[in-house]
Structure 1
Amino acid sequence: MLASCAYALVFLVVGRRYPSALHFRYWIASSAMYAVILVGFGCLPRPAGATIDALMYGALAVTDVLIVMGVRVFEGEKAFRPWMVALVAATMALKAGSVVLATSGWAVSPFAALVVDAIILSLAIGITGLVIYRGHDTPMRRIAGAAMMAYVPGYALALVGEWAMPGERWLARAPLMLDQLLLAVMNLGLLAMCGERAQQALRDAARLDPLTQLLNRAGLRVQEKTLVRPGTGVVAFDIDHFKAVNDRHGHAVGDEVLVELAHAARRLAAVQGGLVVRLGGDEFAAVMPGSGIEGARLFATQLTDAVMASGERAELPVWTVSLGIALVAADDVALAPALGRADALLYSAKRGGRNRMAAWTARGVEAPDMRAVPYPGAVPVDLVAASR
């Protein structure tokens, strides 16, 4: 009881610092309610009658359900689910039924009554613990769920002790001793979920570009091992004369252009299972595992079409991009060589007049195949083939 009150106080203090964190309210209610129920079990005669016992055991199930509701709110989901009512109702019905049988002349042994109680308690805490454990794959959530499910073996151990050594209460007290440990693990796991999310937010902030929400170089390094394989398409691209866009229309408009390009590129790369990275400034790269040269060309063509369409919107200035397309080679052990080749081709496209793409043919060490992008008003230029 004292431990539950202490955890309710901890949740209350932490929750007051974060008024919008509604999950703390569910956990406060669960801990406080559990403490009150324990007082009731200590003060009321046993059995107290079908109605009172059913309400007490139903209230115990509610404390477990409140934990799940708090976790669901923490994950941004709706707190209530219909199965929660069914679980509480089943718990109450089972307990009321067992008390009615025991008080209506049926020969129900004390051990059988203990078995029924263990089943009822295991049903509520086992199901809610499993729901928490099988949710989002985060270590602290799994620890909290596992702690709840660990109550079930404690109840089984108490039954074994009661059956094998009747009258020897030390083994039957196993659930009480486990409660002291598991209650701490469960509640500290719930608290640690908040810190775990804060750490993840910091990691994401370090790996994401704040303006476009694309991966940055650090984020790309984290995923690099899954991307480096022969045939992965790498497209380097940037905005032509981006400084002039900023100087003429202002940095706010320049930011809008960057965001527009990022959104279009991410959407098109996702179709091929790829990702887009902001390398810095107005420089971007798309990496598409297994796309081959044709898949990379398709992305580049679709991106230029999207840029053309965005330039027709009145709120944005007309702007263009240049692109360089390369592939990860069989002997590449990192993305850097392919990025370097794509970047070199990007600058070849710029030297050829901008507003166009330059692609590597990926047939060994050959000259790059330069293709002009068909923009309205663009002047096609035959780019000079460069060595690898």
Structure 2
Amino acid sequence: MLPSIDLATLRLCSVLASATFVVIFLTLWRGRKDQFHNVHWAASLLLYCVALAGLEWINRPDDVLVRSLLVAVLTASNIPLSTGVRLFAGRPLWRWWMAVPPAVTLIGFLLPHMAAMVGIAMPQGSEQSLAAVGLALGMGVFGADIIREAGRAVPDGYGGRIAGIALLAYIPCYIIAIVGEILHFATPSTLAVIALLSDQLLLMLLNVGLLAMPAEAALVAMRESSWRDALTGVYNRAWLAGAHDEYLKPGTWLAHIDIDHFKSINDRFGHAAGDATLAMLADALIVATQDSELDCAGQVVRMGGDEFLIIMPNASSHAAQRLVQTVRTRIGDLGPFNWTVSIGLTEVEASDQTLASAVERADQQLYAAKLAGRDRVAA
């Protein structure tokens, strides 16, 4: 039998910890009203506080319906956790299955009493055990959903995963309580004691994980911003430096592109026209990679000035040639004045130790295209 533990003190600790994070989430929302996911997470903790306080201080032991509703609210308090993560990830908020765990908890708690009304006696402690099944189901369903949706929101982040795992970690606690009831080595309050003891660690992990998600997303956005060219929006050399291993394999084709006589465009039409030409070229390259025959999405990189690089992973020679010819055709239709490009085309070789070696080879082909008279492809 578990030693006697002050259940009221444990509930008070969980309520105070939850209330603290309610204040934190609402404060964050007041500072950024567009981050409404904080309201969802605060609502979850507020529901949890209400349920715990009700179970402790509503002194109506004979009112089965009230107690069953409060236990169901414990499970339902996980719904705003999940909807908050879904809102953060830009996903649909409500799914029908979200209503299942609270319903199972409510029915499980009421079932022994309904059975008694028709003369069927169920084992003592059945209401706690059946309610624990609903609570465990809720932790599993919502924990898995948080992990999945957080992975979509911040693919390389850990905050949402920690929050989801914290919910899943409650499940063994409920299993222990259920087994204890069945094998009669636990007190009637075992379920509450184990859950509240788990709260002292898991509640902290859950909320810290949720708090980490926006910070991780902000870091990803900053990193992505540092990898983007300000004028054209395509990737820059800093991104290319980190893309070494992903594209360093045969089957990756590189097209090094340069605008012919770009200086004369600036001199004749002004730098604004030159910038517009660069932006039009970048757009044409992006559209060409999207409409191409490549097995994987191509990437466009501004190497500097009027030079661009198209990376074509898992491409055939035919697909690479078709793509660069498509680029030349699109550029011929752009206007508002006539301009052309020269292109150097090469494939990454097995002997290449770095992607820079293949880029250098594409640059040499580009130089050959310019020596041959410009407005052409050299491979």
CA distance in 1, matches of 2:20, 2:56: 19
Q: 2:75 — aligned with what?
A: 61
Q: Give the direction of change, closer, same or farther, for the CA distance of 1:116–1:87 in structure 2 (3 Å limit).
A: closer
Q: Is the partner of 1:145 in helix, strand or coil?
A: helix
1:19 positional shift: 1.2
Distance 1:102 1:265, change over 3 A: farther
Distance 1:267 1:54, change over 3 A: farther
Q: 1:25 and 1:167, CA in 2 relative to 1: closer, same or farther beyond 3 A?
A: closer
The reply on whether 1:25 has 2:39 as its aligned counterpart is: yes
Residue 320 of structure 2, aligned match among 296, 299, 305: 296
Give the drift of 1:192: 0.5
RMSD, matched Cα: 2.4
- Once the two structures are superposed, residues 141-168 of structure 1 have per-residue CA deviations (whole angstroms, 9 ceiling, x without a partner) of 1111110111111111223344352449
Aligned counterpart, 2:111: 97
Structure 2 residue ranges without an equivalent (≥5): 1-14
Matched, 1:148 2:164: no
Instruction: Mark the CA change 1:102 to 1:250 in structure 2 (over 3 Å): closer, same or farther.
Output: farther
Task: Work out the CA distance in 2 between the residues paired with 1:253 and 1:217.
Answer: 24
Matched residues in 1 for 2:218 and 2:212: separation?
10
CA distance in 2, matches of 1:357, 1:124: 60
Q: 1:251 Cα shift?
A: 3.8
- Rounded to whole Å, the distance in 1 between the matches of 2:368 and 2:100 is 67
Alignment of 1:1-388 (within 5 A): 1-45=15-59, 47=61, 49-102=63-116, 105-135=119-149, 136=151, 137=155, 138-162=157-181, 163-167=183-187, 173-270=193-290, 271=292, 272=294, 273=296, 274-311=298-335, 316-359=336-379
Q: Deviation of residue 302 (structure 1)?
A: 0.8
Moved more, 210-219 or 26-35: 210-219
Superimposed CA distance per residue, residues 33-68 of structure 1 (whole angstroms, 9 cap, x where no aligned partner): 211111111122465545323432332233101000
What CA distance in whole angstroms lies between the structure 2 residues aligned with 1:244 and 1:159? 80
Instruction: Work out the CA distance in 2 between the residues paired with 1:79 and 1:50.
Output: 32
Give TM-score scaled by structure 2 length. Answer: 0.85
CA distance in 2, matches of 1:338, 1:208: 22
Distance in 2, Cα, partners of 1:287 & 1:342: 11
* Structure 1 Cα separation of the partners of residues 269 and 283 of structure 2: 21
Distance in 1 separating the partners of 2:226 and 2:144: 33
Matching residue of 2:5: none
Give, in whole Å, the separation in 2 of the partners of 1:256 and 1:78.
38
What is the alpha-carbon distance in structure 1 between the residues aligned to residue 75 and residue 240 of structure 2?
Answer: 46
Q: CA–CA distance in 2 between the matches of 1:119 and 1:134?
A: 23
Equivalents in 1 of 2:304, 2:244: separation in Å? 18
Task: Specify every segment of 5 or more residues in structure 1 that has no aligned partner in the other structure, as ranges.
Answer: 360-388
Q: Structure 1 residue 305: deviation in Å?
A: 0.9
CA distance in 2, matches of 1:99, 1:168: 16
Q: Residues of 2 paired with 1:145 and 1:295: CA distance?
A: 43
Change (3 A) 1:171 1:59: closer
Shift of 1:321: 1.3
**SS of match in other structure, 2:276:** helix
Change (3 A) 1:4 1:338: same
**Whole-Å separation in 2 of the counterparts to 1:88 and 1:171:** 17
Cα distance, 1:174 vs. partner? Answer: 1.9
Q: Any idea what the Cα deviations from partners look like across 1:76-115, whole Å, max 9, x if unmatched?
A: 1232223223444444344343442355543223332221
Could you say if the C-alpha distance between residues 322 and 224 of structure 1 is closer, same or farther in structure 2, counting changes exceeding 3 Å? same
- Range 318-327 or range 158-167, more displaced: 158-167
Per-residue CA distance 1:316-351 (angstroms, 9 max, x = gap):
443221111122223111122221121122122223
Q: Deviations over 1:20-43 (max 9, x none)?
A: 111011011111121111111112
Contact 1:320–1:355 under 8 Å retained in 2: yes
User: What code does the residue aligned with 1:141 have?
Assistant: G
Quote the offset at 1:171 in angstroms: 8.6
Residue 229 of structure 1 aligns to a residue whose secondary structure is coil
Report Cα offsets for 1:275-295 as digits up to 9, x if no partner.
221111221111223424333
Question: How many equivalent residue pairs?
Answer: 355
